[in-house]
């Protein structure tokens, strides 16, 4: 499988794993291991002495070949996201930042205006900006022009497991983009991840689908296989679908039978 390039970073895995919603840190770490991922998302939280094992930095940074991509979840404005990004970089030492700004905690829909503004500022500061957005092709182009390292449109609402509900818009974004397109959010099954990769996505980010599976490490491995299969299929070039039915009165009779 060909590698994924984000900024100056090269990844052989095209699966990005989120670390939220796992039953405990050990299961999460097992899932990270069996997924073969090299890029994992983490969130900034207030330190709490009673939940010291929640701190993931130690165990994740002890794992070989893992780059951290902190997100800005919790931010509801561009200014908050920029501040979170600065703190996150301090802690992770990684230039990656997943800009995630949702003003409404019920739906967790990304705010396009605040996301654009934060991404523009952070890209100028040298971050590898990975904005989580609705599947909006124009916003994707604007973010590309703003200097983002990728765009991460949602497949469907975050945590919904509704799959590639935005497939039509995703295919436009993929077709028009000059930066990697990573489907983030909404996937439930490995076959959906494979479908996203077959469409030409550069990578897939999953979290809930793995964390909420009965056996998260096994599901993480299944996603890894699906992402690889989808990418290889994309590289191999899918057969074209056969054309539509032939009209009853021929459209091309004016051409004659020709050579």
Given the residues 21, 98, 124, 141, the one annotated as active site: 98
In whole angstroms, the minimum distance from the beta carbon of 28 to other proteins comes to 6
Tokens 């165990």 identify what position? Answer: 59
> Which residues would be at the binding site for other proteins (CB under 8 A)?
18-22, 25, 28, 41-49, 52, 54-58, 60-61, 68, 70-71, 73, 83, 86-88, 90-92, 141, 145, 158, 176-178, 185, 205, 207-208, 235, 237, 240, 242-247, 250-252, 254-256, 258-259
In whole angstroms, the minimum distance from the beta carbon of 205 to other proteins comes to 7
For residues 70 and 131, which CB has a smaller minimum distance to other proteins in the complex?
Answer: 70
For residues 85 and 164, which CB has a smaller minimum distance to other proteins in the complex?
Answer: 85
Largest CA distance in the chain: 83
In whole angstroms, the minimum distance from the beta carbon of 5 to other proteins comes to 14
Read off the tokens for 24: 């405990």
In whole angstroms, the minimum distance from the beta carbon of 225 to other proteins comes to 21
Q: How many beta carbons lie within 10 A of that of residue 60, not counting itself? A: 19
Residues 6+ apart with CB under 8 A from 138: none
In whole angstroms, the minimum distance from the beta carbon of 138 to other proteins comes to 8
Dihedral over Cα of 34, 38, 41, 42: its sign = positive
Q: How many beta carbons lie within 10 A of that of residue 200, not counting itself? A: 17
For residues 86 and 124, which CB has a smaller minimum distance to other proteins in the complex?
Answer: 86
Measured at the CA of 258, the angle between CA 257 and CA 259, to 5 degrees, comes to: 125
For residues 56 and 128, which CB has a smaller minimum distance to other proteins in the complex?
Answer: 56
CA 227 to chain centre: 12
Identify whether 98 is a catalytic site residue: yes
In whole angstroms, the minimum distance from the beta carbon of 169 to other proteins comes to 15
Measured at the CA of 208, the angle between CA 158 and CA 106, to 5 degrees, comes to: 35
Distance between CA 46 and CA 119 in Å, rounded? Answer: 24
Measured at the CA of 221, the angle between CA 216 and CA 225, to 5 degrees, comes to: 145
For residues 8 and 244, which CB has a smaller minimum distance to other proteins in the complex?
Answer: 244
CB 42 within 8 A of CB 57: yes
| Phi then psi dihedrals of residue 164, to 5 deg | -90, 60
Read off the tokens for 237: 């070039």
For residues 79 and 113, which CB has a smaller minimum distance to other proteins in the complex?
Answer: 79
User: Which residues are catalytically annotated?
Assistant: 98
């Amino acid at each position: 499988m060909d590698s994924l390039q984000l900024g100056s970073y090269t990844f052989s895995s095209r699966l990005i794993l989120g670390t939220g919603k796992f039953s405990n840190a050990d299961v999460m770490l097992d899932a990270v291991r069996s997924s073969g991922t090299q890029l994992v998302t983490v969130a900034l939280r207030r330190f709490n002495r009673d939940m010291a094992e929640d701190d993931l930095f130690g165990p994740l940074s002890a794992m070989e070949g893992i780059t951290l991509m902190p997100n800005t979840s919790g931010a509801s404005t561009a200014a908050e996201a920029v501040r979170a990004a600065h703190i996150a970089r301090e802690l992770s030492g990684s230039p990656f930042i997943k800009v995630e700004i949702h003003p409404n905690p019920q739906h967790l829909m990304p705010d396009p205006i605040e996301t654009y503004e934060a991404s523009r500022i952070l890209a100028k500061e040298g971050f590898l900006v990975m904005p989580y957005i609705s599947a909006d092709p124009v916003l994707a182009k604007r973010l590309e022009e703003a200097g983002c390292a990728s765009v991460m449109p949602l497949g469907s609402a975050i945590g919904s497991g509704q799959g590639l509900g935005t497939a039509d818009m995703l295919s436009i974004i993929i077709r028009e983009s000059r930066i990697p397109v990573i489907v983030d959010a909404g996937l439930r099954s490995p076959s959906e991840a494979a479908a996203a990769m077959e469409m030409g996505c550069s990578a897939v980010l999953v979290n809930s689908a793995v964390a909420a599976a009965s056996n998260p490490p096994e599901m993480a491995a299944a996603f890894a296989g699906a992402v690889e299969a989808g990418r290889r299929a994309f590289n191999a070039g899918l057969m074209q679908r056969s054309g539509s039915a032939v009209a009853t009165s021929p459209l091309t009779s004016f051409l004659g039978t020709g050579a």
